[in-house]
Amino acid sequence: MNIQLIKTEDDYNLALKRLEVIFDAPIGTTESDEADELVIVIDEYEQTHYPMEDKENKPSP
């Protein structure tokens, strides 16, 4: 397991593909730990590059 920060769109896509492969790994396995870590770095990348609007502070139509 060699988790790295996601710095590019290619890194992001590779991380997503790897997560698809190991997503259902049994808890307590190396693959499960890897999936947990991938979720963290993927989420960080998505928050930075694909931010969602803050619905609470968005004015009503």
Model confidence over 1-23: pLDDT tens digits? 678 899 999 999 999 999 999 99
33 lies in some domain: yes
19 lies in some domain: yes
59 lies in some domain: no
44 lies in some domain: yes
Q: Please give the residue range of the domain that contains residue 15.
A: 9-50
Pick the closest to residue 19 from 34, 5, 8 (CA basis).
Answer: 34
CB 6 within 8 A of CB 45: yes
Q: Structurally, how many domains does the chain consist of?
A: 1
C-alpha dist (Å) from residue 26 to 13, 15, 35 = 23, 19, 10
Residue 46: HSE in the Cβ half-sphere, 13 Å Cα cutoff: 11
pLDDT bucket at 48, cuts 50 / 70 / 90: very high
Model confidence, pTM: 0.80
23 lies in some domain: yes
